[in-house]
Structure 1
Amino acid sequence: MDFANQIILVSAGLITFSIFAGVLSSRIGAPLLLVFLAFGMLAGEDGPGGIVFNDYGVAYFVGSFALALILFDGGLRTSRETINRAFGPSIILATIGVVLTAALVGLAAKFLFGFGWAEAFLLGAIVGSTDAAAVFFLLHLHGLRLKPRVAATLELESGVNDPMAIFLTLALVGVAVHGRNVADVSDALDLLWDFLWQMLGGLFFGAVGGYAVLRAVNRLQLSSGLYPILAGALGLLVFAFTQSAGASGFLAIFVAGFILGNNQHRATTEISRFSDGVAWLAQIGMFLMMGLLVTPSALLPILLPALGVAFFLIFIARPVTILACLWPFSFTPRETAFISWVGLRGAVPIFLGTIPVISGVEGAEVLFSVAYVIVLASLVLQGWTVPYAARLAEVELPPRPTPNRRVELDLPAGKGKSVVAYTVDPMSLLLRRGVNRLPLPMGTTVISVMRDGVVRTEGFDRGVEPGDVVMMLTTAEMIPTLDRLFGARRMRGQAKEAGMVDFVLEGSASAALVADMYGLAFEAEERELTLEEFMRSRLGKDIKEGARTRVGGIVLAAIQVQDGSVRQVGLDLDPPQEENLLTQFRLRWRAALGALRELFIADDPRGPF
């Protein structure tokens, strides 16, 4: 009994203190996952904690469980739009890219460590994939917004490349332990069949399981608190069944989460929040455990050559792989460089490093230690600099305005419909237009407006005031758009961020329909065009991303341009006013006088002269 209580005490204490340490470290920009990993090392046998943990079997079991939960949450949050934007480049990176990275790193490991070829390429396979947890959370934790195609490529690559790394690791473990000869035709065919079954089986079981989870959530009448537990349990069932069938359970659970997250279902908010919390817990537990597993004193003898492999991976192997895989997809040099830099390694390489140890590969402890050093180097060097790299590569977008307060209520019988209540911010776009004139997203209906405790269900033409509570019926996918409407657009007197738009529309949309919805003053002949045709008529054939044209008091911007065609058009309902030089001079002069007044007069208790 005392032993069980001590386990609970130590586990809860580690998680609690690591969270507090993460909160403090975030103020200096440290990657949160690095903090969890370092905290686990401090709690280990070489640190002040003195906890001895060297059970690789338990680490593999817990790591599999945690990674499955993380990938399920990643699938829930991956939209169809992300798949459409980045399917080609992400799949190439997740397959050919992992193989090429593993081969290049294997060559470096062979030279720096003198490993046998099987062990050298095994190390390459272990660190060959980017880490979904590291990428998802470093891109989203601080609200970093990237160009849509760049963000989609990074997120989708990290979500689907783990199965390839796992397959390569298991295949090379078989070569190292059982002496399988890949040059032999029968062994090569066996490996090819294993690969096809891993990928295709994972996709099949994930799709079937995902729709089974969706049907169960929508058909069963349960307490609202049970739906998230049901979804998570069924997702793990899909993972375990697929693994038992010899296919990739990690790919299957990602696909199951994707299907659930992109179809209407009950308890959307509860499932999303529960999955987010469980994914956080899984990551904290996974990184702490991997930190406990390593012995820092064992890293010292191999530190320098391991850092050499890490730098080779970051500065040579990853860039070469990205250039080779992305050249057919028309990424700009800056976008390619940024995608190359965000090749983050996290807990997955450490988790994969336990497989050779469990399988009895000779020198496997060294492979595990080298993988650990590579992960630390990646999180410190790349993870710490992701925001700065995004600005340098010019792929960062302005942050979206966020609502002051938002309350959501799922409708169990509404199949994805939610009632959302927003408190109107003093700097919200709503204050510039009446509710009945606001371009609300499709499928959104205003139910009521409450002011000073009095509910109003009509007369919306009178507009709203700061502090009013607006209640609407909408769908989950429209909530980010509503966030932009109800959030503070900018501080008073602050210039509008370059490139910021309020809505993103498809270029194939009818100009007449858009004009009627958003109150645009198109000419009669322009109403017959699509938005793509309208933009080309205004801006010419050689349109560049970011090109803008004004229609009355509204600006249309080319957000996504491919092969000369405008695929997406941004709508800026509150563009900065065009100012002549005299007006700009007057504004700057007033700002300078205001600054002088604050400096010399505002703090004087006697007030102004």
Structure 2
Amino acid sequence: MFFDAFGTDAFLLLTAFLLFSGIFAAKFSNRWGVPSLILFIIVGMFVGSDGLGIVYFDNASLAQVIGVFALVIILFEGGLHTKWATVRSVALPSVSLATLGVLLTSSLIGFSAYLIFDLTLLEGMLLGAIVGSTDAAAVFATLKERNIKAKMGATLEAESGTNDPMAVFLTLSFIELITIQDQSIWMLIPTFFLQMGLGLIMGILIGRLASFSINRIKLGSSALYPILSVAFALVTYGVTAFIGGSGFLAVYIAALVIGNRELTYRYSIFQFNEGFAWMAQIIMFIILGLLVFPEQLFSSKVILDGLILSVLLILVARPIAVFLSLIKMNYSFKEKLFISWAGLRGAVPIVLATFPIVEGLENSQTIFNIVFFIVLTSALVQGSTISWVAKKLKLVGPKKDVPHHSIELISMGKVAAEMIQFQTNEESAVVGKKLRDLSLPNHSNVNAIIRDNQIITPYGETKIQAGDFLYILVETKYKELLTKELEKKVKMSSTI
């Protein structure tokens, strides 16, 4: 093969090709209405043994390691960008979905697999556990630029960020029940609470330690601070997993703590982790695409079995789990329908599907192929229609306009000041006002306005319009006050 013939040079060239392919796939995913993970997986399958034959890859253990590493980076980046004020309002329903919802989904799909296919009850429940959770990588990427109502987005992101531990626990538990004789499922219940408790505690402790360290340690270069944050993410997972806790939960909680504290070099840390998370997604999904053999995946049996379970998952198991998990939790019928439809499957089920292969379980390859097909179906059908479903259910929020510009900031850690970006919309109370009439806190100043991708030099008579991006320099201690003032809506304008 090409890779065998040219060795290191071929590896570097192939890596560049795959990264370029991933970047272009991400660029066109929104234009085509297809989730980027689908395109990343297709790239992997295209260059794999059943495609162009450039790379032969069947190392499930290596794919598992790469997948876990990438998921840590993706969860960490998602947690950094999650606002605690938003998550707090949906904490209880999200936790219910992440625990009871996953358990119900796994049970329904597992029992269905046992009844329909040639699997034992434990093998069927193992399959159900693998596909029981929604996927943080898929949900974060799909919702990032879609104008879904804040409550819906926060619920789905918090659920996907916290439900991986439940799926991991159930998957490992059923593998243990299959491989170890006389093992009782009831003995595993205390283990679950121990893992979740340790994950929560370690996430909070290491998150606080990381925030303190980033703000106090004086490094020789500002470029080292983002790397320090990634090191803390990996330490959080490693230490928590080593002592028997849920590493994934700990990483997400730690990132939530870090992201909601004042940080030196905050802009650099966030930008670096966002780029790193994109690279992790590209590499992970391409590797997972390489791991599957399309000739096996698209056999008539896998397609039929996968379609049956996909329909049951999307239209039966997930809705039942959502409606039961959100009883008496102030969600309307339409909101529950949307949450049911937006339960995307992605990298986590595929990574978990490598565990039975690594353990050498009977029917492990069959389970892997069915899970892979379910993920493709979920991402293609649900992921590409989320915006349409939200619109039909009238759950669309203000349009998200991601700017194609940025303002690079020199680190201002020593003077405790930072530049913040705020986008106005039709409901913003500041719209229509002149800059000199704004009631901004002292020690804050509008330095630039971006309007229709053009920069406007602000002065007192400049009138703010809907859709403007305001870049405001403010002392850190006044940041919260400034944010509250900017976020006031039209109905409150008389109090400004």
TM-score, length basis structure 1: 0.72
Relative distance call for 1:421 and 1:175 in structure 2 (3 A) is: closer
C-alpha displacement of 1:18: 2.7
Instruction: Give the structure with the higher percent helix.
Output: 2
Q: Verify the 8 A CA contact 2:443 2:478 in the aligned structure 1.
A: no
Q: Verify the 8 A CA contact 1:407 1:422 in the aligned structure 2.
A: no
Which residue of structure 2 aligns with residue 367 of structure 1? 367
Q: Which has the higher contact order (CA 8 A, sep 6+)?
A: 2
Q: Distance in 2 between matches of 1:303 and 1:388?
A: 26
Equivalent of 1:20 in 24, 40, 57: 24
3-state SS of 1:271 partner? helix
Task: Report the AA paired with residue 218 of structure 1.
Answer: N
Relative distance call for 1:433 and 1:318 in structure 2 (3 A) is: same
Relative distance call for 1:503 and 1:102 in structure 2 (3 A) is: same
2:450 counterpart of 1:438: no
Which residue of structure 2 aligns with residue 167 of structure 1? 169
Relative distance call for 1:31 and 1:470 in structure 2 (3 A) is: closer
- Tell me the alpha carbon deviations over residues 444-473 of structure 1, each in whole angstroms, 9 at most, x when there is no partner: 6117689xx9999xxx65446999997532
C-alpha displacement of 1:359: 1.1
Which residue of structure 2 aligns with residue 307 of structure 1? 307
C-alpha displacement of 1:397: 1.1
C-alpha displacement of 1:13: 1.0
Which residue of structure 1 aligns with residue 412 of structure 2? 411
Q: Verify the 8 A CA contact 1:408 1:419 in the aligned structure 2.
A: no
Q: Distance in 2 between matches of 1:138 and 1:469?
A: 26
Which residue of structure 2 aligns with residue 546 of structure 1? none
Which residue of structure 2 aligns with residue 243 of structure 1? 241
Q: Verify the 8 A CA contact 2:412 2:418 in the aligned structure 1.
A: yes
Alignment of 1:571-590 (within 5 A): none
- Tell me the alpha carbon deviations over residues 42-66 of structure 1, each in whole angstroms, 9 at most, x when there is no partner: 1111112442100011011111111
Q: Distance in 1 between matches of 2:403 and 2:34?
A: 27
- Tell me the alpha carbon deviations over residues 514-537 of structure 1, each in whole angstroms, 9 at most, x when there is no partner: 855x1xxxxxxxxxxxxxxxxxxx
3-state SS of 1:407 partner? coil
Q: Verify the 8 A CA contact 2:429 2:488 in the aligned structure 1.
A: no
Which residue of structure 2 aligns with residue 586 of structure 1? none
Which residue of structure 2 aligns with residue 207 of structure 1? 204
Q: Distance in 2 between matches of 1:352 and 1:414?
A: 47
C-alpha displacement of 1:434: 2.6
Task: Report the AA paired with residue 352 of structure 1.
Answer: L
Equivalent of 2:147 in 145, 148, 154: 145
C-alpha displacement of 1:6: 2.2
Equivalent of 1:29 in 29, 33, 36: 33
Q: Distance in 1 between matches of 2:395 and 2:424?
A: 31
Q: Distance in 1 between matches of 2:102 and 2:380?
A: 22
Q: Verify the 8 A CA contact 2:122 2:174 in the aligned structure 1.
A: yes
Task: Report the AA paired with residue 177 of structure 1.
Answer: T
Instruction: Kindly tell me the number of residue pairs found equivalent between the two proteins.
Output: 478
Q: Verify the 8 A CA contact 2:203 2:252 in the aligned structure 1.
A: yes
Q: Verify the 8 A CA contact 1:418 1:476 in the aligned structure 2.
A: no
C-alpha displacement of 1:423: 12
Task: Report the AA paired with residue 155 of structure 1.
Answer: E
3-state SS of 1:168 partner? helix
Structure 1 window deviating more from structure 2 (173-182 vs 121-130): it is 173-182
3-state SS of 2:134 partner? coil
Relative distance call for 1:224 and 1:304 in structure 2 (3 A) is: same
TM-score, length basis structure 2: 0.88
Q: Distance in 1 between matches of 2:402 and 2:442?
A: 21
3-state SS of 1:418 partner? strand
2:196 counterpart of 1:192: no
Q: Distance in 1 between matches of 2:190 and 2:320?
A: 28
Alignment of 1:293-372 (within 5 A): 293-299=291-297, 300=299, 301-372=301-372
2:492 counterpart of 1:503: no
Q: Distance in 2 between matches of 1:50 and 1:454?
A: 50
C-alpha displacement of 1:436: 2.6
Alignment of 1:381-396 (within 5 A): 381-396=381-396
Relative distance call for 1:365 and 1:472 in structure 2 (3 A) is: same
Q: Distance in 1 between matches of 2:367 and 2:108?
A: 16
C-alpha displacement of 1:352: 0.1
Which residue of structure 1 aligns with residue 50 of structure 2? 46
3-state SS of 1:266 partner? coil
2:123 counterpart of 1:119: yes
Relative distance call for 1:411 and 1:52 in structure 2 (3 A) is: same
Task: Report the AA paired with residue 128 of structure 1.
Answer: G
3-state SS of 1:446 partner? strand
3-state SS of 1:145 partner? coil
- Tell me the alpha carbon deviations over residues 181-218 of structure 1, each in whole angstroms, 9 at most, x when there is no partner: 43xxxx623x1221112101111111111111111101
3-state SS of 1:329 partner? coil
C-alpha displacement of 1:310: 1.0
C-alpha displacement of 1:277: 0.5
Relative distance call for 1:192 and 1:449 in structure 2 (3 A) is: closer
- Tell me the alpha carbon deviations over residues 217-261 of structure 1, each in whole angstroms, 9 at most, x when there is no partner: 011112211100011112111111111112111111111111110
C-alpha displacement of 1:404: 7.9
- Tell me the alpha carbon deviations over residues 62-95 of structure 1, each in whole angstroms, 9 at most, x when there is no partner: 1111111111111101111122111110001101
Relative distance call for 1:504 and 1:57 in structure 2 (3 A) is: farther
Task: Report the AA paired with residue 413 of structure 2.
Answer: P
Q: Distance in 1 between matches of 2:173 and 2:469?
A: 61
Q: Distance in 2 between matches of 1:177 and 1:217?
A: 44
Q: Which runs of 4+ in 1 moved over 4 A?
A: 400-406, 420-425, 428-431, 447-450, 453-456, 460-471, 474-479
Q: Supply the RMSD in Å over aligned alpha carbons.
A: 3.3
Which residue of structure 2 aligns with residue 178 of structure 1? 180
Alignment of 1:51-66 (within 5 A): 51-66=55-70
Q: Distance in 2 between matches of 1:382 and 1:81?
A: 28
Task: Report the AA paired with residue 331 of structure 2.
Answer: F
Structure 1 window deviating more from structure 2 (15-24 vs 59-68): it is 15-24
Equivalent of 1:233 in 224, 231, 234: 231
Relative distance call for 1:477 and 1:347 in structure 2 (3 A) is: farther
Which residue of structure 1 aligns with residue 90 of structure 2? 86
Q: Distance in 1 between matches of 2:26 and 2:456?
A: 43
Q: Distance in 2 between matches of 1:349 and 1:214?
A: 32
2:61 counterpart of 1:76: no
Task: Report the AA paired with residue 277 of structure 1.
Answer: G
Relative distance call for 1:504 and 1:233 in structure 2 (3 A) is: farther
C-alpha displacement of 1:435: 1.6
Instruction: Give the structure with the higher percent strand.
Output: 1
